[in-house]
Each structure stands twice: as structure tokens, then as C-alpha cells.
A and B are shown apart, each in its own frame.
Chain A
Amino acid sequence: MQTPELSAEEIKRYGRHLIMPEVGMEGQKKLKGSSVLLIGAGGLGSPLGLYLAAAGVGRIGIVDFDVVDYSNLQRQVLHSTKDVGRPKLASAKERLEGINPFVKIETHDMHLNSSNALDLFSRYDVIVDGTDNFPTRYLVNDACVLTGKPNVYGSIFRFEGQASVFALPDGPCYRCLYPEPPPPGLVPSCAEGGVLGILPGIIGTIQANEVVKLIIGRGEPLSGRLLLFDALKMKFRELKLRKDPHCPICGEHRTITALIDYEAFCGLQPGWDSYTREQQYEISVEELKRRLDRKDDLFILDVREPQEFEICNLHGYLIPLRDLPKRIHELDTAKEIVVHCKVGGRSRQAVEFMKQAGFRKVKNLVGGIDAWAEQIDPTMPRY
């Protein structure tokens, strides 16, 4: 690899790296000549961005489409109170350029999907997965395997974190660990289950450390190992990961040779039983928010009473539960329908009734509009 020279100013800045033989001038030039793509500028992306910029990675790309929310500030240390309401990409770029003007920050305001991932990944040396949902995790994994890029993985939930490096030439990938995702609704997200604000700091810096090691080619990468961290017990554990010879994307007989529809893959699986199918008819408020932000074509059916609709609503179509049997013809079975009530009981009955009536693309909003008011929109009145 052709490595760029360091200026006098850069030599001064990176002095503590340069005097260590493991990094030295050679390693620092490799860092300057390298490029890293961060998927997400949130909990994990924050420490990743800060440390990789400080370390002198030459080009850092960030994919995100969110704006900074007040509830992000508890852990997303890239963003400041004054940034609330701004796109995360804007505050991230400003902050990282402030830390190190020698780093080129490239922002990608987009939803990573099957049609743009391969092209984007091919422009970077290392990909870092700091997303918050299963469809994107499988997409990042598959795109890394297909483009031959290392996938530096981190994941957090409440007080627990996981980290690994996937998709090195001889190492396992994420699908070797988890061939299939859990059914939607089974594993709560951080928005539902909460997360200790410091946890992404710990897991994100472990990811940053692995990125730097991969670039300078030193040490033993966290490949073939799953690092587990428990913040309450303050314990690290390590499990062995093996490359699965039957893995559909990196195994000996590959059945996946191109990116697939990951929302569908993480939705209904053939062979699911009654339990997993039940999960299919549910949606969390956080998932609904994510899909509405993405402008998915969802039909919101509100089965509460008109006086409740007056207090607060999600701009849904109102049919009180008791009127549903005689008004069901007003609904379109081809549309994806999210049904809600106040806390989820009446809407569950409505979903059961609609399933009997032949509706297949219908989901109950778990926790109802009350959960929405509590977790998504605190300005909404609760009753």
C-alpha cells in the first residue's frame, strides 16, 4: 500500500504513537492512508468516531439519517445539548473535524439498504457496525462478506455488551454465530429495554481498538472470539467462534451470493412455529417510529373511542373496536396495517379478528399510544 507522508504538525500530534515500535511512523502512515466506515453516529458510533479521528485515520465515513434527540445525550457523546434537533451527521462532522482537522469526514445521509451497501462499502477499508436493529446487522454482515471487508461488530443491551471482528478472510461471520434473527418483538431494543450510558463507551472503544489494530496490522484481532462484557459484574468473558462450514454466505456451499431483502428476512421465516408467528403480528413503538421516519407506507388503524381520539392520536384511521366487524370492508388487506388502542389490549383483539378475516399484513402496536407517549413523544398527553 502506498502510504502518505506526515507533516511536521502531524508528527507532533501523533508523537505518543510514533515512539511506540508497534505503531511508529509506518503504522501512523497506514492510519493516515486508511478509511473506515461507521454505520451509525449514535451510542457506539460516538466513541468510535472520537477515537478514530484522534488516532489519525485518514478518512472516516459516517452513515446516519437521524436527528439528535434530547434522550440521546445520556450516551451519544459526539453530540452536545446545542445540537438537539440537528442532523447527527452535521454535529458529528463538526465535532470530529474539531478534534482532528487532518481527518477527512465523509457524511452519508441515507438509509443503508441492499441497493446502496455494496457500492458504499467498496470505498472503505474497514466497516464498523454500530446499528440498532437486526435487518441492518445482517445487511452489514452480508455486504462485508461480499465485498471482502472486515466487519468490526459491537452490540449493547442494558448492562451487557458483545464485540467481535467478523468476516476476516479465514474468520467467522455474524451468520456463523447467528444463522437467523430472533422474531421481531422478542429481543427488546435499547429504546424499550434501556441501556447504561457508559456501556456504548466501553464497547465502542473496544471496536475502535480493533479497527486500529486491523489497519496497522499488529496484535491479535478479536476474530473467532466473541467478547462478552457485563457492566454490573464488571466481568469480561470470551467465547470461541468458529467459521461454520454450512454458513449460507461464507461457508463451503454458499447459497447467498447477493444482498437480499433484510426486512423480509428478519420478518417472517418459513418453518416458524406458533410462537414465532405470534411475534410477527406485533410491532414496538420504537420500530413504528423507525418505519414512519423512513416513510414506509403504513396504514394506522386506531380502535379506541372517538373521545379518546380527541385527547391524542397518531393521525390514524378511527374505527372503534365494537364497530370493526361492520366496518372492516373500509380496510385494504393489501396494505400494511398497524393497529393501536390505549395500551394494546383492544388492538390485540382487533388484530385477532382481522387475521380471521384474512388480513395478513396487520400488526398490534405493543403498549399502545400510551407507550408512544412515554417512549417516543413526551409532549403527547397521557390519560
Chain B
Amino acid sequence: MTTTILIPTPLRQFTNNSDSVAVEAGTVGEALASLCSKFAPLKRHLYTDDGKLRTFVNVYLNDEDIRYLQKESTPLKEKDILSIIPSIAGGKD
């Protein structure tokens, strides 16, 4: 199953500036693991030392937050789009 993962601007420095990465995976967790195996330095930015997704990193499957699906065990379908949505704060400056 090919899934496209959309990479947000702040994390593109770890993906050779790619804004999307295609991976083969059956679940959300597998897709993120595959992404991190392609771009090893990304892993620390997405996961804690004990392997949990960081709380300031939100992952969406299409338009739905995976926290309200089956989290990382959510199954993927063909053409699904996974988005990593980090918090950004800019505005006044």
C-alpha cells in the first residue's frame, strides 16, 4: 500500500527538503517508521526516547487526527495521505 506523507516546512531539513515522501506501509505506525528509517535524524523529532509520538507533533490521516482513529495502529488504504502538523507560533514579528 503506497501512502504519501506530507512533510511540514520545519521538518524538511531532515528529508533533503522533500515536501512529501511516499512509503509502503499497512498502518500509520508502519508508515512513520518507514519514514524514519529513510531519514534517520527525523526520528528524534517525532518520537520520544521510549518510542511514543511527541505531544507537539500531530499526525492526520487525510483530514482526521489519528488520536481519534486507532492512533498508530490505524490501517491505511491506497491513496491515503498522512500529514505531520507541528505547532507554529509566528505572527506578530
Contacts and interface: CB of A to CB of B under 8 A. Distances in A.
B10 A193 contact: yes
Contacts of B39: none
A43 B92 contact: yes
Interface of B: 8-10, 44-45, 48-50, 54-56, 58, 60, 63-65, 68, 83, 85-93
Contacts of A195: 90
A134 B45 CA distance: 18
A180 B87 CA distance: 9
Nearest to A174: B87
B89 A131 contact: yes
Contacts of A383: none
Per DSSP, chain A at the interface is mixed
13 contacts: A133-B89, A137-B89, A155-B87, A156-B91, A178-B87, A182-B56, A187-B86, A191-B93, A193-B9, A203-B91, A239-B60, A239-B65, A239-B85
Contact of B92 (A130, A162, A193, A241): A130
A134 B1 CA distance: 38
Given A178-B56, A200-B91, 7 more contacts: A130-B91, A154-B91, A155-B88, A155-B90, A160-B88, A179-B55, A239-B83
Contacts of B65: 239-242
Interface residues of A, number: 52
Interface in A145-160: 154-160
B87 A181 contact: yes
A27 interface: no
